[in-house]
Amino acid sequence: MVLEEVTLYEAIFHFAAIFWKFVFASIPPPNYWGGYGCFFVSLMYIGCVTLVIGEIATVLGCVLNIRESVTAITLVALGTSLPDTFASMTAARTSEYADASIGNITGSNSVNVFLGLGLPWAIATTYH
């Protein structure tokens, strides 16, 4: 029976995410309207989810008495690093030698350092 293979952890997260599954199921397939419907509806959903997460972060920082700049930097760091972490973890588990995992970690850190240091420096030198 299929239900015997489902763990409690999987069941809890399935039912916790069921709202989002229904919402994102309303995105049209990419082969309709030349992909424009999928692109614009997805873009709209990304904006809405970003708005919700921003409001939650603001309330969390207010409740914990943390400055908005510290809250923003912390959540941006988590938001950019966690997907890379999960992608690297999945690549390491599915690959025999974990080459993709090492490449993802190296590339992610390089982009973070080059954009995190180089872009503000370039903007500052252009401004001054």
Q: Which helix (H) or strand (E) holds 22?
A: helix 18-24
Q: What is the pLDDT of residues 36-52, one digit of tens each?
A: 988 999 999 888 888 88
**pLDDT of 18 higher than 60:** yes
Domain boundary among 48, 66, 84: 66
Residues 6+ apart with CB under 8 A from 72: 57
The total domain count for the chain is 2
Q: Give the range of the structural domain holding residue 16, as residue numbers without chain letter.
A: 1-66
From first CA to last CA, the distance across the chain in angstroms is 68
**Residue 40's pLDDT is what?**
92
Residue at which a domain ends, from 40, 66, 92: 66
Asked if 75 contacts 60 with a C-beta cutoff of 8 angstroms, the reply is no
Over the chain, what is the mean pLDDT?
Answer: 82
Q: Tell whether 10 and 55 lie within a shared domain.
A: yes
Handedness of CA 82, 87, 91, 94 (dihedral sign): positive
Q: Is there a single domain that holds both residue 74 and residue 53?
A: no
> What three-state secondary structure class fits 53?
helix
pLDDT digit string (tens) for 50-98?
A: 888 888 888 888 898 888 888 877 777 777 777 778 888 888 888 777 7
Asked whether residue 13 falls in the same domain as residue 25, the answer is yes
